[in-house]
Structure 1
Amino acid sequence: MPCASFEDVFAAVEGADGVEPSADLAMIPIDNSLAGRVADIHHFLPASSLHIVAEHFLRIRFNLLAIPGAPLAGIRTVHSHVHALGQCRRVIREHGLTPVIAGDTAGAAREIAEAADPTMAAISPPMAAEIYGLDVLLEDVEDEDHNTTRFVVLSRDFVQAPPDAGPVVTSFIFNVRNLPAALYKALGGFATNGVNMTKLESYMVDGRFTATQFLAEVDGHPDHPGLKRALDELAFFTTDIKILGVYPASPARE
C-alpha cells in the first residue's frame, strides 16, 4: 500500500482523526549502514502506539536513471530521497551533479520520466527503470557495496517473541533523570548483568536541553533473568521506560 509520507504510514496502521486503520502492518526503514539513522522515524516511534514485531535487513542497490537517449555528460541534476542521496555522494561529486530531494527513490524515477528533461537523472532502485521506461546510465552507484537498510515491522498489537525460541531483540525508550552520572548509572545494570546493548541514541524532549530521551536496543528477552534485572535497575535512574518491541533477531545480524 503506497503512502506519500512516513506520517501516512503510521496513520494507516494506527488510524487517525476518527478514520479506521487501512493496513494491518507497517514496514519502515530505521537505519542504514552508510547514512545512519532515519531521523524522522526515531521521532515518530516514541509518540506512536505501534509496536515492533519484526526486523528485516535489505541490501540496497541504486542505479542512475534518465530518460531514453539522455547522455550522462548532459545530466545536471540528480533527484532522490535524502537518504539515497547521502548513500551515493561519490557519484554525485564525480559528475558535478546538483542533488534535489524527492519524496522517495521510486517517486524520483517517476518524476524524471514525467518531466522528460534530458538534464535530469534519478537515483533509484534497478526495477524503477523497467517500471518507468528509463535508461540506466550507471549501475550500483552506492558508495559502498555493504549498503544495507534495516527495516522494522510495526503492528497495533504488542506481540512478543517467545523467550526460548532463538535470539531476540528488545527495543525500548527511556528518559534519564537530570542528575550527575544518571546515564552512566542507568546503563551500569546492563554491563553487570551481561546484557549486550546494540543501539543507544538520544533525543531532546520538548525542546529542553536538560531532559533527554534515549532509544536503546539490547540482545535478549525481558523474561530472561539478566535483562529483567537490568531493566529493574534502569527504572531507578529514569522517569519512564516504554518497551517498543520484543521480536526475533534477524539472521542478517550475524
Structure 2
Amino acid sequence: MQSYPPLAQTLVDSLRAEALAEPARAIAFQGAPGAYSHQAVRETFPQGLPLPCYSFEDALAAVSDGQAHAAVIPVENSLHGRVADVHFLLPESGLSITGEHYVKVEHCLLGAPGARLSDVREAMSHPQALGQCRKRLKALGIKPVTHADTAAAAAEVAGTGDTAVAAVASALAGSLYGCALLMEGLQDADHNRTRFLILERTPRDPAEIEGRAKTSLSFEVKNVPAALFKALGGFATNGVNITRLESHLRGGAFVAAEFLIDIEGRPTDPAVTRALDELAFHSKWVRILGCYPMVPPELATT
C-alpha cells in the first residue's frame, strides 16, 4: 500500500493541492517533502510548485498525464552508483530529458524530538542513503534499516517518538518534521553528489541550447560477436566523448543487452551524426532520450 507517515502526509496533501491547481508550474518528484529530490526541484525550478509522488513511476506519469510540467528524477550517485529501476523507466516513459542537475548530498542523522546520539540503535533510510553512510553507521554501532524514502523516514521517526531509532535524511527533512539534529555530514565522503535528470513531454531543440550540450540515448546491440565494440566504435573514430555507459538485461533473456549512454554534443553535430549512423548499423534499435545543456564537470562537483 502506498502511504506516507502522518506528519509527511499532511505536507504531501498541502503541496499536491497547490501543484495540481497549477499544472503548468507543477514539478513532480519521488518521495516525501524534504527528500533530496524535493531539494533538487527547489534548486532547478525556484518558481515551481513541488508535486510529491510516492514512486518514480507516479512522478513520470504525472508529467505524461499533464498533471505536472516536468519531473526531476535521480539517476546516479557518486558513492553508491545508479539508482535502481530508473534505467528501465526513462526509456519507457515516453518523456524527453531536457536538463541535468547535481545535488550535493549532505546526510544528517535525525532523531525523535529530545533524542541524543547515545540513544540511537537503528537508523532508517532509503537504501541509497544507507549505502552512502555505510562506514560511518558501522563505526557508530548503528544498525541500518531500509525504508522507502529518506524524508519519510524522518517523518516516521519524529512521529513515533522512539529515541532509539533515527533517520538518515537531509537537514531540510529534519526542519520540516521537527527532528533532533544528532549529526551532520554523515556521508562516507565529501564528494557525495547525486545527478538528477529533468524530464518533460516536449524535447528541447538542440539548436536552441547555448554552450556545451549532452545527449542521452538507449539502444540494443545485435547478438553477434564484438557487437558493443562495433556499435561504439563510431564515437571513438569521430572524437565524440561518452560520459556514461550502463547496461541491463530485459525480459529474463541472457542474450543481448540494452544500453544507456550519455555523450557530449548534439545529434545534429556532424561528428555525432556519423557516430549515431554507425551505432544504428550495429544495433537492433536506437532511441534518443533527449538533448540538453551539459553541466560542466567542474561545476558538478562543487
- TM-score tier, shorter chain, comes to over 0.9
Question: Match of 1:24?
Answer: 69
Instruction: Kindly indicate which of the two structures has a greater share of residues assigned to strand.
Output: 1
> Structure 2: where are the runs of 5+ without partners?
1-50
Question: Match of 1:172?
Answer: 217
1:31-70 matches, cutoff 5 A: 31-70=76-115
2:54 paired with 1:4: yes
How has the CA–CA distance of structure 1 residues 72 and 163 changed in structure 2, closer, same or farther, with 3 Å as cutoff? same
Question: Match of 2:64?
Answer: 14
The partner residue of 2:206 within 156, 161, 177 is 161
Contact 2:218 2:286 in 1 (8 A): yes
Q: Which amino acid letter does the alignment assign opposite residue 38 of structure 1?
A: V
2:176 paired with 1:92: no
Q: Which amino acid letter does the alignment assign opposite residue 54 of structure 2?
A: A
Cα shift at 1:253: 4.2
Cα shift at 1:92: 1.2
Contact 1:193 1:229 in 2 (8 A): yes
Question: Match of 2:174?
Answer: 129
Q: Give me the TM-score of the superposition, normalised by structure 2.
A: 0.80
Q: Which amino acid letter does the alignment assign opposite residue 4 of structure 1?
A: Y
How has the CA–CA distance of structure 1 residues 163 and 86 changed in structure 2, closer, same or farther, with 3 Å as cutoff? same
1:202-241 matches, cutoff 5 A: 202-241=247-286
Q: Give me the TM-score of the superposition, normalised by structure 1.
A: 0.94
Contact 2:217 2:261 in 1 (8 A): yes
Cα shift at 1:3: 0.7
Distance 2:208 2:113 in 1: 54
1:79-158 matches, cutoff 5 A: 79-158=124-203
Q: Which amino acid letter does the alignment assign opposite residue 102 of structure 1?
A: H
Identical aligned residues as a percent: 48
> Alpha-carbon deviations, 1:132-172, whole Å to 9, x = none?
11111111101111111110000011223327721000100
Contact 1:163 1:224 in 2 (8 A): no
Distance 2:176 2:92 in 1: 36
CA RMSD, Structure 1 to Structure 2 (Å) = 1.3
Number of residues paired by the alignment? 249
Cα shift at 1:14: 1.2
Q: Which amino acid letter does the alignment assign opposite residue 197 of structure 1?
A: I
> Structure 1: where are the runs of 5+ without partners?
16-20
Structure with the greater relative contact order (CA < 8 A, sep ≥ 6): 1 or 2?
1
